[in-house]
Structure 1
Amino acid sequence: MNNWEYHSCPPQTDHKLKCECPKYRIHMKISITQKMNYNLNVSEIKEITEQWLKSIFPLNISLNYVFISHLSQLTEQNNIKIKEGRNVLPKTEWFSSLVYVTVSPAAAVDETQALLWTLLIPTYNHSEHIILQTDLESLNIYPQATIFEDSMNSTETSFKSTFYRVHMNLTVNGSVEDTAEAILLWLQQTLGGRHRIEVLNFKLITIPKKDGMSKSLPVFRYSCTFQVKALPSVNVTETGKIIFDLITKGFTNSSFTINVSSDEISILHIEPGFCPEDTTLTVYGQYIWASTPAQDNSVMKCEKGHHDAVRLCKLDDSTEEAIWDPPDFSKCEKVLTDINDLESVTVTASNSADVVDMIENLLQNQTDLNTSQLNTLLQKLSDVAHFGIMTTQLANDIISVVSDLFVCTSFLAEATNKILSITNQVGNRMDFSGDYHNTTVPSLALQLINLDPLLFQGLTFGVSSFQTGLPPEIFINQTFAEQSDSGTVVSISLPVALETFFPQNKRSRVQFHFYGIENLFQDHNSSLVLNSYVVSASVTNASVIDLKDPVVITLLHLQHKEDRDMVQCVYWNLDRNDGKGGWDDNGCQVKYSNATHTSCLCFHLTHFGVLLDISKTPINPKDDMILTIITYLGCGLSSLFLGITLLTYMAFEKLRRDYPSKILINLAGALLGLNMLFLINSWLASFNNYGLCIAVAAILHYFLLATFTWMGLEAINMYLAFVKVFNVYVPAYILKFCALGWGLPLIIVSVVLAVDKNCYGTTHSQTQAEDFSSFCWLQNDMAFYVTVVAFVVLILICNISVLGVVLVQIRGMQLSKEEGRCSRMLHEARVVASLTFLLGLTWMLAFFTWGPMRVPFLYLFSLLNTLQGFFIFLFHCLMKENVRKQWRIHLCCGRFKLSGYSDWSGSVMQGGRAKSVKLAHTPSETTSEQKISRSSQKDEN
């Protein structure tokens, strides 16, 4: 059937037809157990074997030939078998036996094999002291498509080409470094030369047995087998005699001798026939190889290039028939060089294996497939899975290609359903012998089980260990397991209730799949991420839903689950997201979940996984690296410019005479402390000092609260200055602000420490690259949400409210002036930007780092907030006229230096004398604000 040509109509099995064959080859090991110490040689053992076979074979089975070779060693297991239940002496010898028989008339192969097997099983008592027994594990019975003859007794017949099988026992006297090579070289030199007889498939089939000493040289016994090809048009009998005479002459040189006894050589004529016409479809083109005799080459011109493609029709060592070797296209150029070139190939039942070979060949040099290439490849694999004769070899090749896709394709989300359909189709259609078959390739496993519904008592499949890029280690149990071992990667247990879904009166097939690749199952419409590998189960030709008892699935977490993390048991719904597939939790629930595993209960069969809240899940390594760089660079720059801002305001007394400047100094100090401590936090945590980490975490918490407190006080001062301009008296104004700005955070941190100092500690974060980093911070969720999240939210709500009121006030003042619209808009934009960073409103971006927009908002949050100190310097130092003039007065020289007694300086002094004013002063970010502040000072005076 392998030689038939079929396209879209593959052959179908017809159980009414029977395959008949008259010739059989029996290969087995036999044991001779002696109750007395007889010294039996190989010829005597052969005679005993022939007597045994003739006594057990019926009249329609004739014995053609028997060949016996000695085995020098015996495994302990075989010794136990031969002695079990028998009272025998320990002298047991083993022999290899090759027997050829003819059945007349020819009968069905399976029936004849069963008959021969039955006849060869019983123990044979040759005499009272000699027992012969067959080793059933080594018993093999093969039908022979060719005719075998004893060359010593055959009639003269002429053939165009002549082949022989030779078995022989030989003796080697002396020491040889490589016995097999020495014997083969002797055979090639003896049979070659003028006789031009070619030695094929030489094999030393037994290990040496030391057989004494001869003239101080060791003597070893060997057994070997090989095939020979003689010249065409030579008489079969004569050629056999030539081979016999040449071999029995033996060999002698100064180092060793080879002796072959005439009664220990068997030369059998074989007729391997021709390799049939065959069509191969490859990346080098399509080639139709003509029918070719055994051991001849078929040569064809390359479809592309000026050289030839060669294919050997070889003589098979085991079947002794002519079979094709793979073609040699090493001198040809490829016709198909890209995956998209496969679009011109039509997949049929006869070329499906060739198409898969072509895909594997084209994938070897691919690093990343584009969408077009991926779609073409999956379409061809789907056609192969549908039309191909699904042998185990073809199925394994398809699964291997799918595994390769996981490596050379970075985007698989669009192809998930297609890949699942292909693997499922392969499992449904695969033809294999026995009840079990599994295929494991890197990151993928397929287990098939043919079940008898009447004997079904539950079924458990699992993966015991798995490393990315390697084949998983799987196991199967014929029982239902409520709970899996702690070290299991995945397991899925099917209940007995599943038997109601099995087809009636026929064997059922259950298939399990394991997918060790997370990016195959991407659901972009879900805010949760996959935190396990995926396992699936299905019954061929059955839709399993609404089970009476649930399926138990246990999955290992890819990232350890923290106490606050939420997990969800889900399955892959092929119909979601417009047919692209997506996660669904319908019919599944969590049985239990710990740090490492989650166990699920589901009432249907499909692909199962565990999802984790994306907000608790690390982002990808590339984004994580970029965000880390942005954060540390931003904090470093902010610290530098905050230091410059503090030095400027502390060095020049004229800059810090009003309230806004004093508040700005305190805010810059708190923010500088926060940035500096953040920069050295991980370094301090690396010392693994428990007390040190608590102190660092508490101080970091303090500076964070102080920063937001001073931003809130900045807003309060702004409100009093802009909105409550008149009749506002606040005694000890700055002192009270300092008490509140530095005291309130201290109280909060002290309360946390008093309640439970273990609220602070070391937090370990893990990236997808398996790198761990330590950070000293709040450990307790309740403390974090109350003292940080709630506090920050309250401050930001107040600040944004004040900003809105202040902007309305400034807008009103600007409209009363005769300024251009463009100038007014630029002025207002600068005011908004300045106050946004001053009041910390950019921190609100943290509340938008969820769901699909998480990463973009994380970039904005990191960039704007780590650079808050720089923007404070920009708007409140670099862009303020009075600060720039102080720099020019005190830091510049020559024509850039200003006099300290300018009109501006006088106006500042005038503002400085107004210390007794009972108003809260507004910051002087803009000219308008300066005028408001000065006018209110004059009214008080």
Structure 2
Amino acid sequence: MEDLPDPNLNCTYNYTGEDPNIKDKYIINLTNTIENCVKCVNPEKKPEKNLKWNKTVIEDGGKVGAAQAAEIMDNMADFITSFEGNSASVSVAEGISGVLVKKPDPEDLEEISFAYNSPNESMNILENSDDLGKFSRSVSVSKEAFEKAASLNITVPFVAVFRFNNLASDELTRTVLGNEVLAVEMGTNISNLTDKMSIHFRNVTYEGYPSCQSWNGEGSRPNWTDYGCETIQKGNNITCQCSHLTFFAILLAPPNVTISSSDLKNLTMITQVGCGISLFFLSIVLFMHSLLRRTNASISTRILIYLVVALYLLNLSFLINNFVAKVGNAVGCKIMAAAMHYSMLATFTWFAVQAFHLCLQLHVGGKVAIPHYILKVSIISWALPGVVVTVLLILGKYGEQVIYTDNPEDNVAMCWIMDIDVHYIVNIGYYAIGVIMGLCCMLGIGWGFAFFAYGVLQIPAYYIFTILNSFQGFFLFIYYYRSSHSGETASGAQGSNSSSSGSTLKSNLDIFENPYSNRLEEKQ
């Protein structure tokens, strides 16, 4: 059979008659218009095997429970030994699938990537990162991660990348981009990578502000944190670079709950300066009380001092909160959040006690005749917040919370209540009760601007709250000084005036009685 010409070849010929001995002569030019590979290797590799992992998956409200997802990844090392070959695609249940790759050759510990174009598409194995741009989503595990796994006596270094499209939400029910949670497992704890693992989401459409977060697999629900992960956003492309291996997701903060980067910086600066000023004046009050007149303090002054102590703890815990959050220790952050929450609730309680005490004095004419009065209010005011905080601590409501801005690089982490519903029920409910008891008559009115700030008035309300609370320590110092000074003046006046004038002064509030007298009030 005559060979057919290659359609990719462009052939031309010319006849020349220069040599009379050669009757016909042809010069043929061959031009190849298409580049052909001498040795072509497809950059995309399909896993060698397709496996089904027969594992019962218990759903939580139609989604896979976080604890079971963590169990699946923890058992990955055992599952690896159940099949022969170096790679496999694994299906567990609807929305749970992944790829396993073994690296039995110690000299073959190189970076490897997994790529796909949609949440329901199977993953491809790529050994050349130059081809990642062809895919919408990809995960790259560095050579350093394999070397660390090999150094930790892993028999056969491997990597498993699994995708959970139906993982249960965290307690804040935050939005996960594409509803995709990725888990990377190598059979041992891999952390502190200098050549970080990368997750790419390209040409994705979303609303809100993205933040790369990780979860260590502990707890009944994911406890997301941005510790160890960096978010790089360029248009519709998002890249997560993380120094450890675990569960990963890109969380989206709704635009209506974020503030601008400039506003957050201004509020942070005002708060830090204000807390410093408050701590200074509160320290003066405590110094004057402890060294000068502690033994002769009246009930009114003791209540005021307890309020000063609670507010001092609140300001101090707020100042160090951000530094604890930056450390990235989950347990330490929970303790910090609980300590600050306790200080805040104790401050609210002592504000309410102060208001109650003033009302009681008006009712009884300045003489409080309740047995062990100061002991009773102290137990209530210090113990009640402790009960609330202990319950929330047991329920796991404390942890790291991120304040999102319009610039992801300026996001701020703090240790606080992670459940927004708990925040509203406990804090605002607690505050509302104190308002009913007369809390706003003291200095607590400023907290209302923080708790009830919504819509277009949210940012102005935050500024008002921050500025007012910055002066709380100063206001308490003035109140303490004025009450002490007025009490001394009134005490001297009572000795020189007529019995009628003395009777009138005696019926006034404690602000006109000597707060450091050892009269009948001291024995109550």
**Greater relative CO (CA pairs within 8 A, separation 6+):** 2
State the structure with more CA Rg.
1
Name the one with the larger strand percent.
Answer: 1
Q: What TM-score, normalized to structure 2?
A: 0.49
Q: What TM-score, normalized to structure 1?
A: 0.29
